[in-house]
């Protein structure tokens, strides 16, 4: 493996934040207004669409076809749309269930969107959203089934899957999650979608001082979880003793170790044909790793199935993180093939270097994908296969054009936002690549998020 760390540092990291689009205040505040609504179809973002006197109302905590009493949470009299919460259900859909979480519901924790929906129906709603985004943004009719991702020791379907959870800390030093589209922190004693390793780390119920947020990451190697603490700007964090976790504090200079390790160990077993192969990865600090324990295997196998790599081929892994797909592709193309991985976070590239040292034909570039794709050394190479797994905003037109110019035999696109994927699908089509397969996975149960893997061919 060669590792020329010569690319300029990248611009950005994958954000999965919420939209800042708010209806412009256009008259008297409508918050608190109660409306009786017939709820319409699901929309992207965890809400359904309803209409009231010609105005669109995005309603949370409802299901299509229900009749609800909804309370407006955002909007003014003259605004084009309002947001509202269903506070009373007047006629319930048969797929409505009691939330497994005591703080799920209007005005409470904003971490989940679909606690009130049976898991199979959640998947159907997500499939409808994927179909709608492709129709609207790519002009394509796609039929997709959202595949379940079972978790071995869950308390119930859709629970205890999140191996990485970022908590906010309130003014009294208690960890919790924010209410929907709000800065208000709802303190928690449990989070039923987080794994027991995360909730057992000791952060819930503890008191922190000068802490803004903290992230708990529990690896699959069985070691104690890592708690990465972000102090309030200009302060020193006070972290209580957490006996069942490693602790690190993020500082402008990097991660400061308080106790235990500053990284998380992950193991992934992937089936290729009749054989299973285990890979080990190191993920530093609160670096990127899929949050669902089944995700690395499901996505890894889906990428291999989409690309059908052959011995001796040359592959490109864009937005490669700590090298999950790089490792799988390196195995598949063998000693005659090559894999070039491009990742923006220097720390992730260092982690990949440690995990992939046994692969002599892997090259790791640290830098922005946009810039790497313009590099003469890269464009002069033969590229048979491309996998890309960009942040939530998608790859964008410039990156898509540069990928198409490399003329790969197949492209696998891993996407956490179906809207960004649909937009990039339209750009790929303009450059001669057609969608030749689409799978979707329920890797974020109880939330509106869905992960897709698309295959494109020339």
Ligand X SMILES: C[S@@+](CC[C@H](N)C(=O)[O-])C[C@H]1O[C@@H](n2cnc3c(N)ncnc32)[C@H](O)[C@@H]1O
Q: Which residues are annotated as a binding site?
A: 290, 319, 343, 389
* Binding of residue 280 to ligand X (CB under 6 A): no
Q: Classify 125 as helix, strand or coil.
A: helix
Question: Count residues contacting ligand X (CB under 6 A)?
Answer: 23
* Binding of residue 363 to ligand X (CB under 6 A): no
Query: In Å, how far are 244, 344, 374, 379, 412 from 405, measured between CA atoms?
Result: 50, 22, 10, 8, 16
| Among 167, 289, 441, 456, contact with ligand X (rule: CB under 6 A) | 289
* Binding of residue 291 to ligand X (CB under 6 A): no
* Binding of residue 265 to ligand X (CB under 6 A): no
Question: Which residue is catalytic, options 48, 101, 191, 416?
Answer: 416
Binding-site positions for S-adenosyl-L-methionine read: 290, 319, 343, 389
| Among 58, 288, 413, 441, contact with ligand X (rule: CB under 6 A) | 288
Segment near ligand X (CB under 6 A); pick from 40-48, 156-164, 223-231, 362-370: 362-370
* Binding of residue 413 to ligand X (CB under 6 A): no
* Binding of residue 13 to ligand X (CB under 6 A): yes
416 is catalytic: yes
Strands of 323-448 (E only): list them: 338-343, 362-366, 385-388, 410-415, 434-441
Contact 387, 409 (CB under 8 A): no
CB of 442 to ligand X, least distance (A): 17
365 beta partners: 342
| Among 43, 188, 329, 369, contact with ligand X (rule: CB under 6 A) | 369
| Among 9, 11, 26, 311, contact with ligand X (rule: CB under 6 A) | 11
How far is 54 from 448, CA to CA, in rounded Å? Answer: 26
* Binding of residue 226 to ligand X (CB under 6 A): no
* Binding of residue 325 to ligand X (CB under 6 A): yes
**Burial group, residue 32, by CB count within 10 angstroms (0-12, 13-18, 19+):** exposed
* Binding of residue 16 to ligand X (CB under 6 A): no
Cβ closest to ligand X, residue 85 vs residue 345: 345
* Binding of residue 348 to ligand X (CB under 6 A): yes
* Binding of residue 321 to ligand X (CB under 6 A): yes
Segment near ligand X (CB under 6 A); pick from 110-118, 165-173, 180-188, 320-328: 320-328
For the record, the structure tokens of 262 come out as: 């500053």
Neighbours of 360 (CB within 10 A): 11
How far is 395 from 389, CA to CA, in rounded Å? Answer: 8
For the record, the structure tokens of 114 come out as: 């679909």
Contact 99, 420 (CB under 8 A): no
Q: Nearest Cα to 198, choosing from 169, 174, 230, 166?
A: 166
Q: Nearest Cα to 328, choosing from 354, 287, 293, 356?
A: 356
Cβ closest to ligand X, residue 208 vs residue 319: 319
Which residues of the chain form contacts with ligand X (CB under 6 A)? Answer: 10-14, 288-290, 319-321, 324-325, 342-345, 348, 368-370, 389, 391
């Amino acid at each position: 493996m060669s590792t020329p760390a010569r690319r300029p540092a990248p611009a950005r990291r994958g954000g999965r934040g919420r939209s800042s689009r708010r209806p412009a205040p256009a008259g008297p505040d409508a918050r608190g207004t109660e409306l009786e609504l017939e709820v319409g179809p699901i929309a992207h973002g965890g809400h359904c669409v309803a209409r009231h006197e010609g105005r669109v109302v995005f309603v949370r905590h409802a299901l299509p076809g229900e009749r609800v009493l909804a309370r407006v949470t955002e909007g003014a009299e003259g605004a084009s749309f309002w947001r509202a919460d269903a506070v009373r259900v007047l006629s319930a859909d048969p797929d409505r269930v009691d939330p497994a979480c005591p703080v799920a519901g209007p005005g409470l924790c904003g971490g989940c969107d679909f606690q009130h929906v049976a898991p199979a129906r959640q998947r159907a709603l997500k499939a409808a959203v994927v179909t709608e985004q492709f129709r609207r943004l790519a002009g394509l009719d796609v039929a997709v089934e959202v595949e379940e991702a079972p978790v071995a020791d869950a308390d119930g379907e859709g629970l205890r899957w999140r191996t990485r959870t970022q908590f906010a800390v309130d003014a009294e030093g208690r960890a919790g999650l924010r209410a929907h589209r709000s800065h208000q922190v709802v303190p928690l004693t449990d989070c039923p979608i987080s794994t027991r390793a995360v909730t057992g780390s000791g952060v819930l119920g503890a008191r922190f001082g000068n802490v803004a947020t903290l992230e708990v990451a529990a690896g699959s190697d069985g070691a104690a979880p890592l708690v990465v603490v972000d102090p309030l700007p200009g302060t020193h964090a006070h972290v209580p003793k957490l006996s069942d976790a490693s602790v690190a504090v993020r500082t402008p200079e990097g991660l400061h170790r308080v106790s235990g390790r500053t990284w998380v160990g992950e193991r992934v077993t992937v089936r290729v044909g009749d054989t299973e192969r285990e890979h080990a990865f190191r993920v530093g600090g609160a670096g990127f790793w899929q949050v669902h324990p089944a995700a690395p295997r499901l996505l890894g196998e889906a990428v291999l199935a989409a690309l059908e790599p052959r011995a001796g081929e040359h592959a490109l892994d864009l937005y490669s993180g700590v090298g999950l797909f790089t490792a799988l592709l390196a195995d598949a193309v063998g000693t005659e093939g090559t894999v070039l991985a491009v990742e923006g976070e220097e720390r992730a590239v260092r982690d990949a270097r440690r995990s992939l040292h046994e692969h002599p034909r892997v090259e790791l570039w640290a830098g922005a994908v946009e810039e790497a794709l313009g590099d003469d050394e890269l464009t002069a190479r033969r590229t048979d296969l491309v996998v890309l797994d960009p942040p939530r905003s998608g790859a964008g037109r410039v990156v898509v054009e540069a990928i198409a110019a490399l003329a790969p035999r197949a492209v696998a696109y891993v996407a956490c936002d179906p809207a960004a994927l649909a937009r990039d699908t339209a750009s790929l089509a303009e450059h001669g690549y057609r969608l030749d397969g689409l799978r979707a996975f329920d890797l974020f149960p109880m939330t509106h998020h869905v992960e897709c893997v698309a295959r494109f061919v020339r």
